[in-house]
Chains A and B, each alone.
Chain A
Amino acid sequence: MAAIARSPFAHRLTGAGQTPQNENVVIRDLSRLPRIGFKGNGTTKWLSSKVSAVPDIPNKAIALSDGALIARLGKEEYLVLPDPDAVGNVCRDLEASWNADDARGERRIGYPLPRADSHSWLHLEGRCIAQMMAKICGVDLRSERLLQGEVVQTVVARISAVLIREMKNDPYGLHMLTDFASADYLWDVLQDASTEFGGGFSWEREDLK
């Protein structure tokens, strides 16, 4: 593909970069990474045949051996997030596999969803994330309440969001996927909410390539 994918936060990630004062709240934009969703009749069966395992109930995520997260959002709905440092491209592979099956005329295999274009993707990390989120989200996200790999589909600062607690424990980490078109709004909300913790967005010039 000739064109370069652009993050909806790109116009905010300018200059030499920014580092928050401390590790309490560190927000990174992962929107330029691939991600994909699958939804519809037959999705669970189809996806189970393509990956080693899928979460057995909705609102749970599991990690594949390459670090990719598979989050189950509903009875027949999934979201796949690759590990940022993974060598392979699980999303591209799954999409190619689905296209091949579809072309062969297989039915009831669900349908892919363009999550890389519909949702921005932020990674929030630090010991004050739950406290910061308590100012903008009505669900208790503290580490003892939201366990690793648990998924919350809720409202953050009045927009819909998918929140996934990262698999590792320390530091606390959260993936947040929200409306692609609301990125500029969300940026200000998060910057404001994290200020009292000395936190904020973090990026380096290299991130902008």
Chain B
Amino acid sequence: MNSATLRKGLLIDASRKLKFTFDGREYEGVAGDTIASALAANGEWILSRSFKYHRPRGILTMAAQDANTLVQIGNEVSVFADRHPISDGLAVRAQNVGNSARRDSGFVMNRLSRFMPVGFYYRTFYKPKGIWEKVWEPIIRAKAGLGKLDVTKPTQGYYDKAYGWYDVVVVGAGPAGMAAAIAAADAGASVLLVDENQRIGGALNYARLATERDLVSEVKGHSKIEIWTDAICNAWYADNWLPVIRGNRLYKVRAKQVILATGLIEQPSQFRNNDLPGIMQGSAAQRLIRLFGVKPGNRAVILAANDDAYGVALDLLEAGVDLAAICDLRKAGHHGPLRSEITQRKVSILDGWCLHEAQPEKGHSHVRGVELAEIDAEGTAGRRRRRINCDLVCMSVGYVPAYQLPLQAGGKLAYDDVAAQFTIDGQGKGVLLAGSVDGFFDLDGCIAHGTGQGWTAAINCGYQSKRRPALPVRDRGSPNHPCPIFPHPKGMDFVDFDEDLQVKDIKNAIADGYRELELVKRFSTVGMGPSQGRHAALAAAMLVSKYTNRTISEVGVTTTRPPVTTEKIATLAGRKFTPFRQTPMHEQHTAQGAAWLLAGNWLRPAYYGHERDAKRLIAEEVVNARNNVGMIDVSTLGGLDVRGPDAAEFLNRMYTFAYVKLPVGKTRYLLMTNEAGTVVDDGVACRRGENYFYVTATTTGVDRIYRNMLWWNTQWRLDVDIANVTAAYAGVNLAGPNARKVLARLNHDIALSPQDFPYLAYREGTVAGIPARVFRVGFIGELGYEIHVPSRFASELWRAIGDAGKEFGIRPFGLEAQRLMRLEKGHVIIGQDTDGMTTPEELDMSWAVANSKPFFIGKRSLEIRNKTLSSRKLVGFVLDRMPTAGLQESNLVVKNGSIAGFITSIAFSPTLGRVIGLAYADRLDADLGSRIVLRASDGSEHHARVASPHFYDPENLRQEM
């Protein structure tokens, strides 16, 4: 089959040789070659093996549209061999083969094909029970799939994304697309022209077409047109949002107007062995000749149903290919201009004949010849036959529009049974079609239509242009044969090459009762392979219409969804953006050896020191804070400035407690419920002035709480301003019996005595020379001061406190120690000790609910909910030691075999020497001293004693010192 090569083509530089390997064998290609073209130039036509029967497969489209050309490069699977360029040393392997594409042990499946009827997946593997998991699944997993991915190897390379904005995006740089781009740009629009090929021009580059205008040069010379080649617009999303893949970058392009000039997809004909290497679309042969200088064969037969076939014939003759015959499916009388050129060349033309069977070389490695048949009155292969030797068959029998993007954009596909042609209509606002995809088949019509649509797009963008171009009229002629399907009694007449589906498979699916195309698709898997029905959808619809006695327009076609073609996960992932927040003391914590924990999106020290000593370090941090003095960075705590004449009234409505009478210089606990009466946040309100509250909120809740406050006030319209100052204020909590002594050593102007600065008081002044908001709250249950300062000065504060505390043995403590000490005091963590139903009553926090207020969010719901109390209550519990099975948060509390609740917090308290925790339990078991049963993850059950959640210093003597 090796051809005397042309090797002069639009995309190649024959003087630059490159060496690459395919299945381990070395080949020589030239610069500009794709893998497929270089192999073809070497006479190597088998690129892959088919999915089910392992039949040899080769070039079908040369347009990266079919699964025949999927190969593996390194760890990248399913690469299009007819698009991917070769390079020196490139190592390519065939997919889905036993050893190589050329010799594949799996070809035995071809002879077993009669044991694999359509839908055999559904029929075969489900009996007896359990056989799927044990036997079939492992076998099929080993056999199925294309390519082999080594999941231990991460994807190499840098992938990222970028946004783009244009007035008009034109997809497809064929004649219509180029004309549209020029017209839009001429009218003033900024235009992006996207094409998946390496060169703009579309069919002008390979088909027998000539224009007076040099559209390519016009486009390239236009300052308002940006050209992206090798770029795939892989979907259309709402409001003209287009993902365009260019190399390792995914562009997210927003267009005011989109023009889809996606062109046509040439369709194969169905006859026996129509999948042999050497049988290809007419356009594929033209691409090989014009783009890559590869002679597609030595002796050809052309299967024709339109005038384009005669263009292919002329190209083949010019390339030095012998033309054995042209077999035209149409009855005599079709005479296009190109056909008359052929008739002058004395080529044998058989009008009204079809291709009945292709005959293979040994091992089905290539086509060896064809048997032609005269079409009888029923439109099937008749008795008159003729056998011809050839090594190339070109099919030019019809097209479907490349409808993927138009349909995603809302277009509806309809079929004109008379013209044997799809029409697309009704795509959304701002989406225009141009050229052959919209039914314009002649070159002049395409260009005129593109020009008109480009102009319209620019006008729709708001540009002014008076010269409205005339829109062409659609040619009534159609290049499509109504049904180029010639079933063979012995089968192997493939409808879907990806899935190895023959005519009889579709027929049998219908016989099994699946009459609707969508059901036939699911049962037979037609159109579900990598090429997504590009070459199979219409043929399947034709067969369903034929065997159910309906028209194609009645049968309809299946829909299409993104993506248009294969895309890599790495492309979708891009560069990862995971924001995190740090407090201004972050560097100092690092220097002190902090182990980090993520709280919301904040990085917080969990404890200070090495992970292997974590347990001991946390206990030491607790003991030091309890007995001496500790310091912790609490900058992540939410901070809100609530200011204005209605500030107190606003808090009164937002929170459950009462704030109107809170004196200036005092703090009060805050509890927030939502409209359903569920506890959603807590914090502290500090009254800085008559009209000024400084409010804290939980670290993870503050952004939501802030947004929610603004929402409520758009309705209440109180005279209050709310500002989220979380990041603006950093905070340190200085806590422990020696806290006052440490604070006294800092340069400050605040009176610290218990009388001057009592528990729950709020003061302002300077600490360590920094303006500070200071308040005393319970926190860990020791004498403590919370000091908030502007972020810019926070590292200064941390250093100053550490220095001042040195002589007292101050130690920083982390979030773990904080949580432990707060659990010892029975402070609940909203979100951990509460869930979507928790009421203040369940938490024993009715003291924080001012029912006398006329309104707060959740008040009305709580009135209703408190009429019938829930069956549960949050209780404290103690265990003498942690069971070996371990008990964790979310482990169940069980009672009489039923779930009564669950553990929300549990830890070993170094202060108390016992395991303490909080859990939801049956309300009837909430009395101190009751026994509750905790079920560990391994199912073992453990008795715990209900205790006051105020495990440590229940009289609060220590924090109020």
Touch test A–B (CB under 8 Å): yes
Cβ–Cβ < 8 Å partners of B797 in chain A: 3
Q: How far is the CB of B352 from chain A (nearest CB, A)?
A: 59
Whether A111 sits at the interface, judged by CB under 8 Å, is yes
Q: How far is the CB of A166 from chain B (nearest CB, A)?
A: 21
Across the two chains, which residue of chain B brings its CB closest to A8?
A: B584
Say yes or no: A3 contacts B580, CB within 8 Å. Answer: no
A53 CB to closest chain B CB, in angstroms? 23
CB pair B728 A182 closer than 8 Å? no
Contact for B792 among A11, A108, A116, CB less than 8 A:
A116
Report whether B725 and A114 are in contact in the complex, using a CB–CB cutoff of 8 Å: yes
Given A6-B795, A135-B160, the answer on whether A1 and B770 have CB atoms closer than 8 Å is yes
> Cβ of A117 and Cβ of B790 under 8 Å apart?
yes
State in angstroms the CA–CA spacing of A179 and B577 once bound together.
15
Task: Please tell me if the beta carbons of A134 and B162 are within 8 angstroms of each other in the complex.
Answer: yes
Type the 1/0 row for B580-601, where 1 means its CB is closer than 8 Å to any CB of A.
1111101100000000000000
What chain A residues lie within 8 Å of B725 (beta carbons)? 113-114, 117-118
Near B by CB (< 8 A), chain A positions 65-80 give none
**Interface majority SS (helix, strand, loop, mixed), chain A:** loop
Whether the Cβ atoms of B729 and A3 lie closer than 8 Å is no
Instruction: Determine the distance from Cα of A183 to Cα of B643 in the docked complex, in whole angstroms.
Output: 28
Binary contact readout B863-890 vs A (1 if CB under 8 angstroms, 0 otherwise):
0000000000000000000000000000
B795 closest partner in A (C-beta): A6
Contact A3 B163 (CB under 8 A): no
Query: How many residues of A sit at the interface, in one of the four size bands?
Result: 35 or more
Q: Is B572's beta carbon under 8 Å from chain A?
A: no
Residue in contact with A39 in the complex, picked from B577, B645, B721, B770, CB distance below 8 Å: B721
The reply to whether the CB of A104 lies closer than 8 angstroms to some CB of chain B is: no
Please determine whether A40 and B721 come into contact, CB atoms closer than 8 angstroms.
yes
Known: A185-B580, A185-B581. A117 touches B791 (CB 8 A): yes
* A111 with B721, Cβ < 8 A, contacts A180-B727, A189-B577 known: yes
Q: Which residues of B contact A192 (CB under 8 A)?
A: 575
| CB-based nearest B residue for A43 | B721
Roughly how many angstroms separate A64 CA and B791 CA in the complex, as a whole number? 28
In contact, A183 and B728 (Cβ under 8 angstroms): no
Interface string of A124-161 (1 = CB under 8 A from B): 00000000001111101010010000000000011100
**Given the complex, which residues of A lie within 8 Å of B644, measured CB to CB?**
40-41, 111
Docked Cα-Cα span, A194 to B796, in Å, equals 32
Residue A86 lies at the interface, judged by CB distance under 8 Å to chain B: no
B793 at interface, CB cutoff 8 A: yes
The residues of A that contact B645 with a CB separation of less than 8 Å are: 107
| B602 interfacial by beta-carbon distance below 8 Å | yes
Most buried by B among A107, A116, A180: A180
Residues of B within 8 A of A137 (CB): 163
Tell whether, in the assembled complex, residue B162 and residue A135 are in contact, meaning their CB atoms are under 8 Å apart: yes
Report whether B769 and A2 are in contact in the complex, using a CB–CB cutoff of 8 Å.
Answer: yes
Collect the chain A residues with CB atoms within 8 Å of residue B790's CB: 114, 116-117
B-chain residues with CB within 8 Å of residue A2 when the two chains form the complex? 747, 768-770
Which of chain A's residues have a CB closer than 8 A to the CB of B145?
Answer: none
A:50-92 near B, CB below 8 Å: none
Residue of B nearest to A115 (CB): B728
Beta-carbon contact of B747 and A182 below 8 Å: no
A114-B728, A181-B727 as given contacts; A6 in contact with B792, CB under 8 Å: yes
Contact partners of B635 in chain A: CB under 8 A: 181
User: What is the distance, in angstroms, from A105's C-beta to the closest C-beta of chain B?
Assistant: 11
Bound-state CA distance A134–B579 (Å) is: 18
- Considering the complex, give the chain A residue whose CB is closest to the CB of B165: A140
Check: A4 CB closer than 8 A to any chain B CB: yes
Query: In the docked arrangement, what's the CA distance between A142 and B793, Å?
Result: 37
With A3-B793, A4-B796, A157-B577 known as contacts, the answer to whether A135 contacts B769 (CB < 8 A) is no
Q: Tell me, yes or no, whether A184 is within 8 Å of chain B by CB.
A: yes
Let me know if B723 is at the binding interface, CB within 8 A. Answer: yes
- Asked whether A3 lies within 8 Å of B586 as measured between CB atoms, the reply is no
Name the contact of A5 in the complex, choosing from B602, B641, B768, B793 (C-beta under 8 A): B793
> Given A111-B723, A118-B725, are A182 and B579 neighbors across the interface (CB < 8 Å)?
yes
Contact of B719 with A by CB under 8 A: yes
Q: Are B727 and A179 in contact, CB atoms less than 8 angstroms apart?
A: yes
Q: For the complex, what is the distance from the CA of A137 to the CA of B577, rounded to whole Å? A: 12
Q: Contacting A181 at CB < 8 Å: which of B160, B602, B723, B796?
A: B602
Is residue B164 within 8 Å, beta carbon to beta carbon, of the partner chain? yes
Question: What is the CA–CA distance of A185 and B162 in the complex, to the nearest angstrom?
Answer: 19
Q: Give the residue among A5, A39, A114, A142 with the most B Cβ atoms within 10 A.
A: A114
Is there an interface contact between B770 and A41, defined as CB atoms closer than 8 Å?
A: no
- Report the minimum CB–CB distance from A200 to chain B (whole Å): 16
- Beta-carbon contacts of B779-804 to A below 8 Å, as 1s and 0s? 00000000000111101110000000
Q: Which of A114, A138, A179 contacts B581 (CB 8 A)?
A: A179
**Which partner residue on chain A sits nearest B582 by CB separation?**
A184
> Bound complex: CA of A181 vs CA of B645, how far in Å?
31
Question: Do residues B793 and A158 form an inter-chain contact, with CB atoms below 8 A?
Answer: no
**Judging by beta carbons under 8 Å apart, are A134 and B577 in contact?**
no
**For residue A140, which residue of chain B has the nearest CB?**
B165
In the complex, whether B763 has a CB less than 8 A from a CB of chain A is: no
**Among residues 718 to 739 in chain B, which have CB atoms less than 8 Å away from a CB atom of chain A?**
719, 721, 723, 725-729
* Residue among A134, A135, A145, A180 making CB contact with B728, cutoff 8 Å: A180
The interface residues of chain B lying within 8 Å CB-to-CB of A113 are 723, 725
B160 touches A3 (CB 8 A): no
**CB closest residue in chain B, given A114:** B728
Shortest C-beta distance, B461 to chain A (Å), equals 14
B161 within 8 A of A: yes
- List of B residues within 8 angstroms of A3 by Cβ: 768-770, 793, 796-797
Check A1/B579 contact, CB under 8 A, given A114-B725, A118-B728. no
Is the CB–CB distance between A158 and B579 below 8 Å? yes
Instruction: Look across to chain A and name the residue whose beta carbon is closest to the beta carbon of B575.
Output: A192
| Pairwise interchain contact A117-B727, C-beta atoms closer than 8 A | yes
Closest to B703 in A: A160
Q: Are B719 and A41 in contact (CB under 8 A)?
A: yes
Contact B583–A117 (Cβ < 8 Å): no
Q: Are A117 and B728 in contact (CB under 8 A)?
A: yes
Among the interface residues B602, B643, B723, B747, which one has the most CB atoms of the partner chain A within 10 A?
B723
* A1-28, CB < 8 A from B: 1-8, 11
Does A6 lie within 8 Å of B721, measured CB to CB? no
Chain B residues whose CB sits within 8 angstroms of the CB of A110 once the complex forms: 721
The smallest beta-carbon distance between A62 and chain B, in angstroms, is 23
**A11 is contacted by which of B160, B578, B587, B793 (Cβ under 8 Å)?**
B587
Q: Are B791 and A180 in contact (CB under 8 A)?
A: yes
- Nearest B-chain residue to A7, judged by Cβ: B792
In the bound complex, what is the Cα–Cα distance between A185 and B582 (angstroms)? 9
State A158–B161 Cα separation when bound (angstroms).
Answer: 13
Interface 1/0s, chain B 420-437, versus A by CB < 8 A?
Answer: 000000000000000000
Closest chain A CB from B253 CB (angstroms)? 10
**A192 shortest CB reach to chain B, Å:** 7
Contacts of B580 in A (CB 8 A): 182, 184-185
List, in ascending order, chain A residues with CB within 8 A of B729's CB. Answer: 114, 117
Q: Which residues of A lie under 8 Å from residue B584 when comparing CB positions?
A: 6, 8, 180-181
Give 21 A-B contacts (CB < 8 Å), ordered by A residue. A1-B770, A1-B771, A2-B747, A2-B768, A3-B768, A6-B796, A41-B644, A107-B645, A113-B723, A117-B725, A134-B162, A138-B252, A158-B577, A179-B727, A181-B582, A181-B584, A181-B726, A182-B580, A183-B582, A184-B582, A185-B579
A-B complex: 5 closest residue pairs judged by Cβ atoms = A2-B769, A40-B721, A118-B728, A117-B728, A181-B581
Residues of A within 8 A of B (CB): 1-8, 11, 32, 39-41, 107-108, 110-111, 113-119, 134-138, 140, 142, 145, 157-159, 179-185, 189, 192
Task: Give 12 A-B pairs besides A6-B795, A181-B583, A184-B580 with Cβ atoms closer than 8 angstroms.
Answer: A3-B769, A6-B792, A32-B792, A110-B721, A111-B641, A111-B644, A117-B727, A134-B162, A158-B578, A182-B580, A184-B582, A184-B586
